[in-house]
Amino acid sequence: MFEYDQKIVNSLLNENNDFKRLFEKHNILKSTIKDANEKNIKVNRFSLEGLKKEKLILKDKMSTMIEIYKQNLA
């Protein structure tokens, strides 16, 4: 995730608690979704879709924060 902006992500993780919170929650959701898809945990289809949507919302929020950070560098 955000491979092309890794330096910015690292900066935001160190400087911005909101970004760090979103990043950590995204990683937890990513792991949960992976476990559900691999049948390591039981999650019904509707709950899994909800988790996927929440993960995408977090990613969108982080993307917005990265873009704002880039604009402030310019």
Domain of residue 66 covers 3-73
Predicted confidence (pLDDT) per residue in 16-41, tens digit: 999 999 999 999 999 999 999 998 88
Looking at residues 64-73, what average pLDDT do you find?
A: 94
Looking at residues 41-51, what average pLDDT do you find?
A: 93
What is the total count of domains within the chain? Answer: 1
Residue 74 has pLDDT above 80, yes or no: no
0.85 cut: is pTM over it? yes
- 32 Cβ contact list (under 8 Å, min separation 6): 41, 43, 51
Structure tokens at 16: 């911005």
SS3 24: helix
